Structure 1
Amino acid sequence: MWKSSFPPTNSSQESSVSLNITGIRMAVALVIVIFFCFLAYFMTMMLNIYFTSSQIQENARYVLFVHLLISDSLFIMFGVFLLVASIHYLSIPGPVCYILVMMGMVTFKTSPYNLATMALERYVAICFPLHHCMLCSTKRAKIAILVTWMLAFFPHICEIVVLPSLSKKLSALHIMCTQTNVTVHPFQNLIQLLNLVLGFAGVGLIILITYVQIVIVTHKISSQSSLTSKGSRTIILHAFQLCLCMASLLSAYEYKYPYNILNFFIFTCLPRFLSPLIYGLRDEVLRKYIKQTVLKNIHFLKIPVGGK
């Protein structure tokens, strides 16, 4: 009787709180694992569709879209590695850590540059349809992809050239791999800040100009064609994708601290998955191939069940 009247002790309260936190973490981890499995399936399916269809490979629009998929996949891969290294406080050699952080930043910046290129491709297709095949060939699309990677690597090349002591300082370190720990000079922050601000401002300006031009062309046509209406909606989608990239930029500061798994999932992984998913499902050609691939996979899974 007396024992039942005592309030619960601090140790029992702490154990129940710890159990609740553990349960929440396990639930979040399960959701993230399911998400990554679906993400890996979708990315693999889209890449398989691209590399097995000559019709898609000959279209500059889909070349740029597949490049967006690849760069986003690489960004998530480097982000996951840095997340795991941060959670477990792994000590990594300075030069290796710098390369990992650099590749994470480079793959982060290629996506908005790619969006600007895709917006320009739609602008040419609608405003200059007679010159579209010449200006937006697959060869030119691949050259544009090369330019985006050069622009993304440019600030890091400046760091190495302008700061020759950077490699010497990093080579002597074994550090927890975060962006803060590989920043050994204030000039690095200045370069990265200018690059991000100018890059996002330039991409936003390109998307805005192309949208305005497409709207002007749309109003000049007496009966609004499906191509122009789809083109304007595509540019709006690119603007939405840019906003998602900016949401990821907000989480880029998470590199400075031990990673928060939920923030990493919401602000880094989810935007990188939603944009190609929306873009892929709304495209008629890709939607047809996606439907065929999914039905084929479902049929393949049903065969063992039927015993045939």
Structure 2
Amino acid sequence: MANNSSVVTGPSIRSANYRLILVQIFVSLFLCINILLMVTFFMKEFFYTTMRYILFANTLLSDCLILVITNYLLIMSYYNLTMKMWLCLIWYLFSSVYTLVTPLTLTAMTLERYVAICIPLRHAELCSTHSTMHSILIIHGLSAVPCTVVLICFFVSASFSFYKQSRVCSVEMFIFYPWQAHFRSVINQFYFLLMCIIIILSYVKIMKVAKAASGEDKQSSRKGLRTVALHGFQLLLCLMQMWCPFIENAILQINFMLYINVRYFNYITFILAPRCLSPLIYGLRDEKFFHVLKHYALCGLHKKQDLF
């Protein structure tokens, strides 16, 4: 067994090197795009007083944080660099919370589109700036629930000396017993089911309105339908991330090389890919945002259209 491992280690590390560089390129690119979009968001008062754009900015901030955190942990893990467990605890806290902030915000954005298209007369009341701030607080509160449950179980089980140990940082460090992992899984699956139901119901309701509408209302409804569909696809990719640890742990028991390949695929597909869809949905598809973005991206050479 040891001989087989030594045979595959060389190519494995060489391959991972190229992959690590590729990940750094992707992460740097997405961070630059997201920062440009954040700057654009603050350039117009209309954006930071409108619910869907505020929620969009919340996803951008969440995406930036999760990209920085996961990339840092990826580099630490790749080079087998250790850190004190109390510091790992802080990284885990932020990683766990902001892994859920994006899918929950996408669900809130879907509900906003549902209200705008299916209950337009109450849109101004239900989707005010005040309501948006409350929504963001609720999103962060709900995102912290799974992490809080895991940490409570961890604090009860861990000895004081554990915090002084240095290890490669991983979420598995905070799970001592199988029931803790099962409990976390149950909470994640509940979130998964709840968000999927909201997305599907919103899509069906908007579809009914789109069929019944005519003229400009029909065009607006169809655009809302496409937006919800994109949110659903992005949400699916984000939620699949919750299944990744279970899949990876199962594969690790079978074949280490396959584990490395699957883990890399999961990181690209379920962590990086969903983070590049937000700029597509609101950065490029939204007419108002796109023209302001184009104006500032081209340093004012592109004439802004009067869309406000």
- TM-score range (shorter-chain normalised) is 0.7 to 0.9
1:149 match:
140
Q: Give the alignment of 1:145-294 within 5 angstroms.
A: 145-161=136-152, 164-168=155-159, 170-223=162-215, 225-253=218-246, 260-261=263-264, 263-294=266-297
Q: Which moved more, 1:35-44 or 1:118-127?
A: 35-44
Q: Which has the larger radius of gyration?
A: 1
TM-score by length of 2: 0.82
8 Å Cα contact 2:82/2:168 also seen in 1: yes
- How high is the sequence identity, in percent, across the aligned residues? 29
Q: Is the 8 A contact 2:66 2:95 kept in 1?
A: yes
- RMSD across aligned positions (CA): 2.8
2:37–2:279 CA contact under 8 A, matched in 1: no
For residue 132 of structure 1, what is the aligned residue in structure 2?
Answer: 123
User: How big is the shift at 1:263?
Assistant: 4.4
Q: Which amino acid aligns with 1:155?
A: P
Partner secondary structure for residue 116 of structure 1: helix
Question: Could you state the TM-score of these two structures normalised by the residue count of structure 1?
Answer: 0.82
Contact conserved, 2:150 with 2:175, CA < 8 A, in 1? no
- TM-superposed deviation, 1:85: 1.4
CA separation of 1:298/1:40 partners in 2, compared to 1, >3 Å: closer, same or farther? farther
C-alpha distance in 2, partners of 1:216/1:131? 19
Give the residue type in structure 1 aligned to 2:60.
Answer: L
Distance across 1 between alignment mates of 2:152 and 2:87? 18
Q: Cα distance 1:253–1:173, how it changes in 2: closer, same or farther (>3 A)?
A: farther
Q: Secondary structure at the match of 2:83?
A: strand
- Give the distance between the partners of 2:278 and 2:245, measured in 1 at CA: 18
The answer on 1:43 being equivalent to 2:46 is no
Aligned partners of 1:214 and 1:262: how far apart in 2? 34
Structure 2 residues without counterparts, runs of 5 or longer: 1-6, 253-258, 303-308
Count of residue correspondences: 283
Q: 1:89 to 1:237 in 2, by over 3 A?
A: same
Q: Distance in 1 between matches of 2:13 and 2:85?
A: 34
Give the drift of 1:59: 0.5
Is the 1:93–1:173 contact (alpha carbons within 8 Å) kept by the matching residues of 2?
A: yes
CA–CA separation in structure 1 for the residues paired with 2:278 and 2:202? 19
CA distance, structure 1, for counterparts of residue 184 and residue 79 of structure 2: 27
- Secondary structure of the residue aligned to 1:54 is coil
Q: Which residue identity is paired with 1:59?
A: T
Q: Tell me, in whole angstroms, the C-alpha distance in 2 between the residues paired with 1:191 and 1:141.
A: 31
Structure 1 stretch displaced more, 256-265 or 93-102:
256-265
